[in-house]
């Protein structure tokens, strides 16, 4: 994938930062497994696996932590 889609980590609010963290997390999966058919096939396995869901939440949290730091934790 060569398209540039992420120009900045700076967001207007924590809510926007969290939404960006979700986008980053989903894009990470897409880059790791670009085959949509494989992703669809695997979804039922991890959708009901508590450990997989916790791991996914951890990835989002790490991305949000990075974005929050880039935004100086939205301090003015």
pLDDT score recorded for residue 18: 98
Q: What's the confidence (pLDDT) of residue 1?
A: 57
The token pair that represents 42 in the structure block: 């695997």
SS3 49: coil
For residue 22, the model assigns a pLDDT of 98
Specify the length of the chain in residues.
Answer: 76
- Using DSSP, state whether 19 is helix, strand or coil: helix
Q: Rounded to two decimals, what is the model's pTM?
A: 0.87
From first to last of its 76 residues, the chain has per-residue pLDDT tens of 568 889 999 999 999 999 999 999 999 999 999 999 999 999 999 999 999 999 999 999 999 999 999 999 998 7
Annotate 33-76 with DSSP letters as a single string: ---HHHHHHHHHHHHT-HHHHHHHHHHHHHHHHHHHHHTGGG--
Q: Where are the domains of the chain?
A: 14-74
Q: What is the pLDDT of residue 32?
A: 94
């Amino acid at each position: 994938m060569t398209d540039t889609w992420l120009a900045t980590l700076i967001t207007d609010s924590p809510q926007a930062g969290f939404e960006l963290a979700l986008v980053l997390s989903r894009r990470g999966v897409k880059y790791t497994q670009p085959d949509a058919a494989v992703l669809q096939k695997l979804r039922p396995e991890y959708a009901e696996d508590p450990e997989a869901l916790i791991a996914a939440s951890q990835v989002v949290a790490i991305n949000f932590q990075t974005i929050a730091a880039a935004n100086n934790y939205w301090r003015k």
